[in-house]
Amino acid sequence: MTTPRAPAPASRISPVDAAGEAIEYTKRNLFPFRFDRWLALGFVAFLDQCGRTGGANFQYRRGIGGGGSSGLPDMSAVTGWLGSHVALVVALAAVALVFIVALAVLATWLNSRGAFMYIDNVATGRADVARPWREHAERARSLFAWRLVLSIATLIGVFVLTCLAGLLALAYAKGWLAGAAALAMGLLVLLPVFFIVLLAFGLGSMLLRDFVAPLQWRLGVSCGDAARVFWPVVKANSGSVAIYAALKLLLGIAVAIASIAVGCVTCCLGFLPVVSQTLLQPLFYFERTWSLVFLRQLGYDVFAPWAPSSLPAAPAS
C-alpha cells in the first residue's frame, strides 16, 4: 500500500475542544429520544465494549465466629483430597484455563466487529446493525489479529515478570539472597517494569480502537496499513495524544461510576448486557464521537464528506 500523505491538521489541536464538539454532536443525534434507535445503538455499543469493561463485582463478607475461636473451617479433608487427586486437579485447571482463554478470544473478536459497527453508525449518524456487521468483516478481522498479538505479547511479558518474581522468592527462601533487603530491591526493580508493560498494553489498545480502527474504516485498509498512516501523527502530536489518553482514563472512571449507579437504581437491571449500554447511550456515543472528532483535528476527517458541525439529523428508520 502507498501511504497517503497526511492532511493538514487543525490549527488548534485540543482534546477539550474535541470533547465539546462531541457533546453537541451527541445531543443532535440522540435527541429527541427514540427507543428503537437507542436500543439498536445500545446493542452495537455492547459489542464495542465487549471484553473491554466488565460488570461491577460485589462481595458481601460476614464476620466469622466469635469469642476466642477463629471460627475457620477445618480444611484438612479438602487439602487431603486435593493431594491425592493431583492429576485430576491439574486436568480440570487446564480445561478451565482453555475455556477462559477461549472466552477472552471470543470477546476480543466480538469487540473488533462491534468497534467498526459503532464507528460506522456514529460517523454516518445511523443506527444500523446488520449492514455494518457485513460490510466491515475483513477490516475487523485485521484489527482482531493485531489486538490478539498485543494481548499475547502482554501475557508473555507478565508471565516472564511473574516467573522472575517467583525465582527471587525462591532464592530468598533458599538463602541465596543476602537478606530481605535484596528481595525487596529485586521486587522494586520488577514492579515498575510490570506497570510499564500494562501501560503499554493499555495505550496500544486505546490507539488501535480510537484512531487506527477509524482510519481503517475511512481509508478501507488493513490494521497494519492504518497504523503506519497514524504513527507519524502520534509522534508529531504526542503531547495532545497523551492529554487525550489521560482524559479518557478519567472518562472511563466516570462511566464505571455511572454504570454502577444506574445498576443500583434499576435494581440490578442496569447491569445486564445491552440494557446498560442503552440506558447510558449518551455516554457511550459521546466517547466514540470524541475520538473521531479528535482524529479530525489531527488531520483525518472520518466524518467526511460531512463535518460534525453540519451533519444532518439522524435519518428516520
* pLDDT tens digits along 269-285: 989 999 999 999 999 99
Say if CB 287 and CB 56 are below 8 A apart.
no
- Asked whether residue 72 is assigned to any structural domain, the reply reads no
Residue 97 lies in a domain: yes
| Region 160-170 average pLDDT | 88
Read off the C-alpha cell for 264: 443500583
Give 18's pLDDT tier (boundaries 50, 70, 90). Answer: very high
Residue type, 149: V
| Vertex 108: Cα angle to 106 and 113 (nearest 5) | 95
Q: What is the mean pLDDT of residues 219-224?
A: 95
Nearest to 286 by CA among 4, 23, 15: 23
Is 7 within a domain?
A: no
The amino acid at 33: F
Whether residue 34 is predicted with pLDDT greater than 90 in this model: the reply is: yes
**Mean of pLDDT values over 24-43:** 96
Residue 273 CA to chain centroid, in angstroms? 16
Does the pLDDT value for residue 55 go beyond 50?
A: no
Which segments of 125-222 does DSSP mark as H helices, in order?
130-135, 137-173, 180-207, 213-219
Selected residue with higher pLDDT from 235 and 72? 235
In a domain, 207, yes or no: yes
Contact criterion met (CB below 8 Å) for 122 and 153: no
- Give residue 216's domain range: 15-50+79-309
Assess if residue 42 is contained within a domain.
yes
Q: How many domains does the chain have?
A: 1
What predicted TM-score, i.e. pTM, was given to this entire model? 0.82
d(CA 27, CA 311): 12
pLDDT at 12: 85
Q: Does the structure show a pLDDT above 50 at 65? A: no
179 within domain boundaries: yes
In a domain, 148, yes or no: yes
Check residue 183 and give its pLDDT: 77
For residue 76, the model assigns a pLDDT of 62
Tell whether 5 is covered by a domain. Answer: no
Could you report the per-residue pLDDT of 66-115, keeping only the tens digit for each? Answer: 444 445 565 566 666 666 777 887 888 889 989 998 999 999 999 999 99
Max mean pLDDT among 3-7, 83-87, 165-169 falls in 165-169
